[in-house]
Structure 1
Amino acid sequence: MATPPTVPAPPPFHEEQTLVALWPVHDPTGVDTPAAPPGPRTGGRADARRAAHRRQRPALPENLRRLVPQALVVAFLAGGTTAFVAHDKAVRLTVDGEPRTLHTFADDIDELLDDEGIAVGAHDVVTPAPVGDLDDGDEITVRHGRPVTLTLDGVQRRVWTTAGSVDGALRQLGVRAEGAYLSVARSSSIGRTGLALDVRTERTVTFMADGRERTVRTNAGTVREAVAEAGITLHGEDTTSVDPHSFPRDGQTVSVMRITDSREVHEEPVPYAEQRSEDDSILAGTEVVEREGRPGVRRITYRVRTVNGVRQRPRALDAEVVRTPVDRIVKVGTAARPRSVAGADGLNWAGLASCESGGRPRAVDAGGTYGGLYQFDTQTWHSLGGSGRPQDAPASEQTFRAKKLYLQRGASPWPHCGRRLTG
């Protein structure tokens, strides 16, 4: 009986070589050869590792190449199964709260996430940390970060959270939500795109109103809202010591100001102007008032505010002239003054003036009929060439007119004091 030819032992093989014995495929040379099974996901360090193993395979002689597949089958059945199973790991992967169990040949967490197509950003959290080897039975959790535009007690900022709900985000951010106002329900979920959240925590605010102090706990967004929660009603022009639209701060004290608003109308005089013109028919130094001035009247409407019973300074709202002022017209004499009146210059005119008016050029009697040093009446004064009123003329002109009157009528115009002229 012929001795069968000796079959040389196959060379050593790696783990990936052990796996190919399970699926034979047809070889064009006539010998069935094993095909590669569907292995782990391609890409990442897994592909790099398999490529390295393929580069390390030794080249076989031609006469042994046909015998290797059968030998591999035998080797797999004998011990290759152990190597295959040793590299297949069952792990539990939870992504954003959704768990699943999967089998993988990845060596570590980074490779596992790469194989599963899970990208990890700067705000994402992976536990345990993606370092070290991946073992069978490991549990990996991935929580993606979510942007939240948080307005907390009127201050806005952008934060990141890995929580999947508003309630979880508040706990993660350390925001006290008891008694707080939330623009979004606490049970609401937070998607990967994030959300905007307005939170107003409960604060203590004290109000001083109508002589009383009231302290309330509130999550109001404005001082005006907090005033209403304190049971205080603002009427008309009433307001607060701070802007009623401002945000109420914890520990803040706010005064309520009761304001009454009224209108008052006052009439005030409008001063008149004076028109002056020269007149050569009047002696120099003499001013004659042709028309007395008259003040006008201005009507002014004021706004008067009373704050907590205290009257404030009135503020003018409107003004109108209800009577126009009348200008004062004055004639100013420019004619040369006569030096003397013949026949009257030597008399005691100072004595007469002292007797008639006490020597006062502006003197007027109690009835208003006579005026000046010599107590002329207006008609006599005008007949002597005077203008206006005698008491308005200079003392020198009054004496000049008195001398002219003496030449016409003697001392008779001054029945009681006329004797002073010669005495």
Structure 2
Amino acid sequence: MHNAETIAYGVYAAPGTYDDTYRPAYETYEAPPQPPETLQLPEPVQLTETAPYAETVQLTGTAPYAETVQLTGTAPYAETVHLSGPVLPQLPRQDAGRAARRRRTRSAERPESTIRRLVPQALVVAFLAGGTTAFVAEDKAVELTVDGKPRTLHTFADDVTELLAEEGVRVGAHDVVAPAPGTALTSGDEIAVHYGRPVRLTLDGHRHEVWTTAHTVQEALQQLGVRSEGAYMSVPRSQPIGRAGLALDVRTERSVTVMADGRARTIRTNAATVGEAVAAAGITLRGQDTTSVASGSFPRDGQTVTVLRITGTKEVREEAIPFGVHRTDDSSLFKGTEVVERAGQPGLRRITYSLRTVNGVRQTPRRIRDEIVREPRDQVVKVGTKPLPASVRGADGLDWHGLAVCESGGRPNAVDPSGTYGGLYQFDTRTWHSLGGSGRPQDAPAAEQTLRAKKLYVRRGASPWPHCGTRLHG
């Protein structure tokens, strides 16, 4: 008798290929018929890990090839994966007892075999599920706002630069991206792109080229720090600014003081010119009235403008224009002799002056017009170049100086009261010309006059000088 089965020496049957119950070769065993039964798996196997995406793998089913794998955990991507297959058909009745014995034998002798078979399967499923979880974790839900237009999208981009390239959003030097390009992305981030717009701004008379990301004129003024209360604007504040930009003229409100008629008036104005500011102060300019600064200039904040009340008349004065003298050589005249061939004539200039009184004070006359009424005419003078003779025979040695003193007081340019006689020896013009002289005798040099007097003496003696001729002989 044996307490255990007697095993034939050298006989071995592999488990699972046929009846794996060991018994002597001489023993024959016939199992009673058994109804078909359903095979049950052992208790579910759970694999648990502490990683950020901890999962639990549960394997269940009614046959070795029908399992359900359930992945659960604290990560936001917990999933359930079902693996299914055909249920193993029921065994025939005659094999039922044999299957029951095999099952009992496996359970008694090798209870860990089922776990060893299921654990690799569970690990494979967990690996696949973990890969799925990692894949889902790379996907990010972000909100992208481009020029004020938001949209929510999913992306695998690592940073802002990749996201913009992925969405085909191009940015330039004047565009603003927040957060900055290159910033790492995480799910839930908000990215905003603001396009820059050029604005040709004329602010209080000064031109500027600026860029802004504002969508309206009012937003641009706030962004640029321009004080708009009471300001003049060339376009409405609500005017949208397109990508092409716009031209904007802004005149801020300024304080200007106007002095007129002994009073000071301070106003706040956005006028474009001093003239407009003066008119806004209720002051009217009349006649020749003007302002201390140019009426068309831009009024500055804190500027004081004085109104000048002007009254005045005009005065016309005439002035002579001196003539010039033109001299020419004449070989027929003795040296030192000059003869006026053409007398000069002075010109005439007419000048108009403005006589003004500014705020009751008379001003220095101001020339406002100058015109030539008559041009001057040059005087033409002939200058002798002929050498004087050394002497005149028959007249040398006489007292010609005494005669000259008696006739003219010794003055070469002397003229008698009647204007008929002139020079040292008081020649008349006819006699002077007959002696070879030219022009008037009083215009000739003293030496020439003495020479002509000697020639006259040779011709007529002392008779031409009836009163003073006796002086020639002392």
**With CA pairs under 8 Å and 6+ residues apart, which has the higher RCO, 1 or 2?**
1
User: Per-residue CA shift, 1:16-57, capped at 9, x if unaligned?
Assistant: 793887xxxxxxx999xxxxxxxxxxxxxxxxxxxxxxxxxx
Distance between the aligned counterparts of 2:187 and 2:144, measured in 1?
12
Distance between the aligned counterparts of 2:463 and 2:217, measured in 1?
117
Say whether 1:185 aligns with 2:240.
Answer: no
Number of the residue aligned with 1:352: 403
Say whether 1:18 aligns with 2:79.
Answer: yes
SS of equivalent residue, structure 2 residue 212: strand
Between 1:304-313 and 1:172-181, the stretch displaced more is: 304-313
Distance between the aligned counterparts of 1:373 and 1:172, measured in 2?
101
TM-score calculated relative to the size of structure 2: 0.57
Q: Which runs of 5+ in 1 are unaligned?
A: 22-28, 32-59, 69-74, 76-85
Give how far 1:120 is off.
Answer: 8.3
Matched residues, percent identical?
Answer: 48
Number of the residue aligned with 1:332: 384
**For the structure 1 residues 392 and 207, does the alpha-carbon distance in structure 2 shift closer, same or farther, using more than 3 Å as the test?**
same
**For the structure 1 residues 339 and 169, does the alpha-carbon distance in structure 2 shift closer, same or farther, using more than 3 Å as the test?**
closer
Number of the residue aligned with 1:36: none
Say whether 1:168 aligns with 2:229.
Answer: no
**For the structure 1 residues 227 and 406, does the alpha-carbon distance in structure 2 shift closer, same or farther, using more than 3 Å as the test?**
same
Distance between the aligned counterparts of 2:377 and 2:294, measured in 1?
47
Say whether 1:200 aligns with 2:251.
Answer: yes
Number of the residue aligned with 1:420: 471
Determine if contact 1:237/1:261 at 8 Å carries over to the other structure: no
Give how far 1:105 is off.
Answer: 9.2
Determine if contact 2:227/2:252 at 8 Å carries over to the other structure: yes
Q: Which amino acid is the alignment partner of residue 300 of structure 2?
A: R
SS of equivalent residue, structure 2 residue 223: helix
Number of the residue aligned with 2:194: 144
Determine if contact 2:388/2:448 at 8 Å carries over to the other structure: no
2:443 to 386, 389, 392: 392
Number of the residue aligned with 2:343: 293
Say whether 1:341 aligns with 2:402.
Answer: no
Aligned length: 365
Determine if contact 1:277/1:332 at 8 Å carries over to the other structure: yes
Determine if contact 2:329/2:382 at 8 Å carries over to the other structure: yes
Aligned pairs for 1:14-413 (under 5 A) are: 18=79, 117=167, 119=169, 121=171, 122-125=175-178, 133-134=186-187, 140=190, 142=192, 144-149=194-199, 150-153=201-204, 154-161=206-213, 163-207=214-258, 213-231=264-282, 245-254=296-305, 266=318, 268-269=320-321, 271-280=323-332, 282=333, 284-285=334-335, 287=337, 289=339, 291-297=341-347, 299=349, 309-314=363-368, 316=370, 319=372, 322=374, 325=377, 327-330=379-382, 332=384, 334=386, 337=389, 339-342=391-394, 344-413=395-464
Determine if contact 1:109/1:130 at 8 Å carries over to the other structure: yes
SS of equivalent residue, structure 2 residue 442: helix
Give how far 1:195 is off.
Answer: 3.7
**For the structure 1 residues 143 and 352, does the alpha-carbon distance in structure 2 shift closer, same or farther, using more than 3 Å as the test?**
same
Number of the residue aligned with 2:97: none
Determine if contact 2:71/2:81 at 8 Å carries over to the other structure: no
TM-score calculated relative to the size of structure 1: 0.63
User: Per-residue CA shift, 1:123-149, capped at 9, x if unaligned?
Assistant: 14469x9767546xx9x5846344241
Distance between the aligned counterparts of 1:335 and 1:306, measured in 2?
63
Determine if contact 2:141/2:155 at 8 Å carries over to the other structure: no
User: Per-residue CA shift, 1:200-221, capped at 9, x if unaligned?
Assistant: 2112234556776554322233
Distance between the aligned counterparts of 1:230 and 1:384, measured in 2?
89
User: Per-residue CA shift, 1:362-406, capped at 9, x if unaligned?
Assistant: 222222222112222223333444332222233233233333444
Q: Which amino acid is the alignment partner of residue 201 of structure 1?
A: T
Q: Which amino acid is the alignment partner of residue 207 of structure 2?
A: V
Structure with max Cα Rg: 2
Distance between the aligned counterparts of 1:405 and 1:421, measured in 2?
13
Determine if contact 1:148/1:159 at 8 Å carries over to the other structure: yes
1:2 to 27, 37, 45: 37
Q: Which runs of 5+ in 2 are unaligned?
A: 1-35, 40-62, 88-116, 130-136
Distance between the aligned counterparts of 1:338 and 1:403, measured in 2?
12
**For the structure 1 residues 328 and 19, does the alpha-carbon distance in structure 2 shift closer, same or farther, using more than 3 Å as the test?**
farther
Give how far 1:354 is off.
Answer: 1.6
